[in-house]
Amino acid sequence: MHLSPDEIIFWQHGFLKLNATIVFTWGLMLLLVIGSKLVTRKLSIGLERSRWQNLLEIVVTGIEKQIEEVGLSQPAKYLAFLGTLFLFIATASLCTIIPGYEPPTGSLSTTLAFALCVLVAVPFFGIEEQGVGSYLSSYVKPTFIMLPFNIISEISRTLALAVRLFGNMMSGAMIIGILLTITPLIFPIFMTILGLLTGMVQAYIFSILAAVYIAAAIRVRKPGTESEQTI
């Protein structure tokens, strides 16, 4: 049993390697992109539209609405980043029902990569919104003493993001693997269903937390709205 799909290596040449994480990520990418392309190939702007278009519209507008509810007044600006996070993680969890599939999110490298992306995205959007100086000054508020704590907070929450998703996905796969050896008939199915639910919840938590971090970064200068998220 592999703890992480990173350990399944298909091809390696020196530093370069092609493991299951990357391969399944490409597979998911192809699935998402081709699916999107197929559905959006013939979009209707009338009242009559296809079921798939309807589904995608519900998904996109749902994500947009969630982003807006978090506090981001221009959801379209963050839709691509946050929406892709949610859709990738959700699809990765959903595909666990396919036999032989290893979710890329079960790899700490993947979750860490996503967390690093969030770590970079937060100051990126914050600086874009309020400028470099204003954003950086938020780290020394209310006093200069808070600077190390703010930096630690940034790093710790990024790690928390990565480890939370990795732990949940990996544990789900591990539990199913263990249960298959103990009670191989019925119980793993329930655990798989539970794993689907956990995967969806984790996708939601990951993207919502990313949205909250970004929202905190761009709203920090507004009086009365400053808040530190230390989840």
Closest separation in Å from C-beta 94 to another protein: 16
Closest separation in Å from C-beta 46 to another protein: 7
Interface residues with another protein (CB under 8 A)? 3-4, 6, 15-17, 19, 21-22, 25-26, 29, 32-33, 36-37, 40, 43-47, 53, 56-57, 60-61, 76, 79-81, 83-84, 87-88, 104, 107-110, 112-114, 116-117, 166
Tally the C-alpha atoms within 13 A of residue 53's C-alpha that lie toward its C-beta: 11
Nearer to another protein, 53 or 192 (CB): 53
Burial environment of residue 41 by CB neighbours within 10 A (0 to 12, 13 to 18, 19 or more): exposed
Nearer to another protein, 37 or 51 (CB): 37
Quick one: tokens of 214? 């970004």
Nearer to another protein, 66 or 110 (CB): 110
Q: Which of 84, 218, 119, 108 is nearest to 173 (CA)?
A: 108
Closest separation in Å from C-beta 54 to another protein: 11
Closest separation in Å from C-beta 35 to another protein: 9
Nearer to another protein, 26 or 190 (CB): 26
Within 10 angstroms of residue 163's Cβ, the number of other Cβ atoms is 15
Closest separation in Å from C-beta 11 to another protein: 12
Distance CA 43, CA 173 (A): 38
Closest separation in Å from C-beta 141 to another protein: 30
Nearer to another protein, 213 or 220 (CB): 213
Nearer to another protein, 78 or 220 (CB): 78
Distance CA 148, CA 154 (A): 10
Q: Which of 75, 91, 231, 228 is nearest to 169 (CA)?
A: 91
* The length of the chain, given as a count of residues: 231
DSSP per residue over 209-227, as a string? Answer: HHHHHHHHHHHTTSTT---
